[in-house]
Amino acid sequence: MDYPIWDFAMGGGMLMALVAVPHVIVAHFAVGGGLLIAVTETLGVRRNDPELRELAKRSSLVLILVSTVYGAISGVGIWVVAGLISPGAISSLIHNYVWGWAIEWVFFILEIVAALVYYGTWDKISKKAHMLVGWLYFVGAYGSLVVINGIITYQLTPGKWLESHAFWDGFFNPTYWPATLLRTGVALMMAAAFMLFPASKSREAGTRLVRYIGGWLVAGSLISYVGYRWWEAQLGETTRALFLGESPTLASLAATRSFTLWALAAALVLGIVFLLIVPRSIKAIVPGILVMVAAFAFFGGWERLREGSRKPFLIHSHLFSNGLLVEDIERINSAGLQAYTGWASTGGLDDPIEVGRRVFKIQCAACHTLGGYRSITEALPTFQEMLAVTANDPPGSGAAAFEAGCASCHRDSNFEEMVEFMPGADEMKEDPEMVTDLLVGMITGTLEQLRDMGQAYVDADRSVQFDTQTTAYPMMPPFVGNDEDLEALATFLGTLTHDGASTVLTGGGE
Ligand code: HEC
Ligand code: HEC
């Protein structure tokens, strides 16, 4: 919370997804490819099967190019983007896991060096030595996966670390082993999906090689499925409630989960049909692309599910997505945000709107944009929505507008009751100030609820994972700050939600 904010129109989360999704796909391909190529070459040599060996050789160029060039550059990109959008989280992760990252980089160097040597020494050194380099590559690549996996799973399920703050307690957390298994399966799927293409190119042995790759794809899918079920079972009850059960808290996350599992089923079925039963079909490119898309969709879906189910935390029960530490809630509420962050109040202090804008950037911008993805004006009631509800023109549209724009906060009332409380449409147009006051009042009330929510975190047992389901807004961090901060934010948000007023008025020919 005490770092300046990188203001980015698209929203940091979106940018992170754009950089991270291709990176993790390639990274898993690099790991699985390492295993597949090493095994394939070894089998080729042992069985004296030149076609298998040739497949390993042909695949290794793609592997080298993709993993060393794209994988490495996009990996650096992830650090840059993550450091810019959530410096607090990166700082925390580095402080806790500096030796984890160090080990990771050693594995990475081994991976890169082995990859280059492997590609450069085909038919130049003895077969045995060459196979050894291939296996070294796999050790480096897999080693980097199992290390990073410890840190990533810790973010979602820190487990005993919450009590002990000990390195290994965080590393071998409840989802560590299931996620390792799942990622191993994913790595095999990614590698098989890529290697399909070099396999199908072999003129004499195409069918046989495609079946061989198909075997790996099917094995990877089954391993992924077991890993996924195990992973889900190890999540806390509260995390599971976000996307499972009769009425999951986040419907979109529940949809992501079913998408993920259907994509896995599709990858498995397509793999069995196209690669094992009619391997000739791969010559036609499209079936191969379908298999690949299904495999990517499964993996991408699961990564989204994993990230989404961590909401509102970056490190569960410890650090929120906006950089707020659970242990700082009380201190900021009493001292005030402006005293706490240092930079929020420099310059422009007299203008509550300016202060409010900064409070928004500090506390809300990690998840909400002003007008783009998860826009804050969509979350808040606006002048136009108020007008649409009251005017009810054409008849029936008011109730729809209420459902869309008001019901989430006004669960206790319905459209008819609400309209009785509200000024008429003409009154609103004549006196927009009154509507602004009403809007700011609603925003203030919501922010107060969000601030009260902090008490639940303060009172909770800090040595176990927090049950976000017990709060009014399970997917959001509490608001922190004193009354002055809260008022400033409400004033600023009031200007946004009211902006619609001028367009409505001029549009109405006033
Ligand atoms: C960790 C991410 C995150 C942060 C930080 C965050 N929000 Fe949200 N907020 C969400 C999500 C996700 C939703 C939508 C929930 C849904 O779709 O059901 C939401 C919804 C809302 C809503 C609509 C609530 C409703 O029931 O309709 C309001 C109002 C809101 N946020 C205000 C804020 C304000 C103000 C801040 C800063 C003090 C903030 N949020 C910070 C994630 C966040
Ligand atoms: C982000 C949550 C939120 C949304 C969305 C929202 N409201 Fe409210 N509204 C509140 C809160 C909180 C209060 C109570 C304010 C207070 O404490 O004074 C309130 C109060 C009101 C009141 C004053 C009377 C009363 O029931 O207390 C009216 C009228 C009202 N809202 C209308 C609407 C309409 C119409 C919409 C949809 C266009 C809407 N609200 C959308 C949070 C919201």
Please, which pLDDT band fits residue 506 given cuts at 50, 70 and 90? Answer: very low
pLDDT higher than threshold 50 for residue 510: no
Q: Which residue has the higher pLDDT, 250 or 494?
A: 494
Best residue for ligand 2 mutational test, from 402, 442, 476 (most atoms within 8 Å of Cβ) = 442
CA 454 to ligand 2 center in whole angstroms? 22
Please, which pLDDT band fits residue 217 given cuts at 50, 70 and 90? Answer: very high
Best residue for ligand 1 mutational test, from 309, 325, 447, 476 (most atoms within 8 Å of Cβ) = 476
pLDDT higher than threshold 60 for residue 232: yes
Residue 409 CB less than 6 A away from ligand 1:
yes
Q: How many CA atoms lie within 13 A of 333 on its CB side?
A: 19
Give the global pTM. Answer: 0.88
Structure tokens belonging to residue 292: 């690949």
CA-CA distance, 103 to 97, in Å (whole number)? 10
Q: Kindly list the protein residues whose Cβ atom lies closer than 6 A to any atom of ligand 2.
A: 380-381, 385-386, 389, 405-406, 408-410, 418, 421-422, 441-442, 445-446
Q: Is 187 exposed, middle or buried (0-12, 13-18, 19+ CB in 10 A)?
A: buried
Residue 370 CB less than 6 A away from ligand 1:
no
Structure confidence by residue, pLDDT tens digits, 155-212: 999 999 999 999 999 999 999 999 999 999 999 999 999 999 888 887 766 789 999 9
pLDDT score recorded for residue 348: 57
Residue 317 burial (CB count, 10 A): 23
Best residue for ligand 1 mutational test, from 320, 332, 368 (most atoms within 8 Å of Cβ) = 368
Structure confidence by residue, pLDDT tens digits, 295-307: 999 999 999 999 8
CA-CA distance, 480 to 483, in Å (whole number)? 10
CA 502 to ligand 2 center in whole angstroms? 21
Q: Taking Cα atoms as reference points, which of 102, 32, 15 lies closest to residue 71?
A: 32
Please, which pLDDT band fits residue 151 given cuts at 50, 70 and 90? Answer: very high
Residue nearest to atom 37 of ligand 1 (CA): 364
Full set of structural domains in the chain with CATH: 12-320 (1.20.1630), 326-507 (no CATH)
293 Ramachandran zone, left/alpha/beta (phi>0; psi -120 to 50)? alpha
Cβ atoms of 417 and 399 within 8 Å: the answer is: no
Residue nearest to atom 10 of ligand 2 (CA): 442
pLDDT higher than threshold 90 for residue 280: no
Q: Taking Cα atoms as reference points, which of 238, 309, 313, 240 lies closest to residue 470?
A: 238
pLDDT higher than threshold 60 for residue 502: no
Please, which pLDDT band fits residue 68 given cuts at 50, 70 and 90? Answer: confident
Cβ atoms of 183 and 129 within 8 Å: the answer is: no
Average pLDDT over residues 455-468: 92
pLDDT score recorded for residue 501: 42
Average pLDDT over residues 69-97: 88
Structure tokens belonging to residue 360: 């928004």
Residue 492 burial (CB count, 10 A): 22
Residue nearest to atom 40 of ligand 2 (CA): 406
Structure confidence by residue, pLDDT tens digits, 338-395: 888 877 777 657 788 888 988 998 899 888 888 777 889 889 999 999 999 999 888 8
pLDDT score recorded for residue 347: 64
Average pLDDT over residues 472-500: 90
pLDDT higher than threshold 50 for residue 263: yes
Cβ atoms of 296 and 330 within 8 Å: the answer is: no
Cβ atoms of 479 and 472 within 8 Å: the answer is: no
CA 6 to ligand 1 center in whole angstroms? 19
pLDDT higher than threshold 80 for residue 499: no
Residue 408 CB less than 6 A away from ligand 1:
yes
Structure confidence by residue, pLDDT tens digits, 88-139: 888 888 988 999 999 999 999 999 999 999 999 999 999 999 999 999 999 9
Average pLDDT over residues 440-468: 94
Report the percent of the chain where pLDDT is more than 90: 60
Q: Which residue has the higher pLDDT, 314 or 510?
A: 314
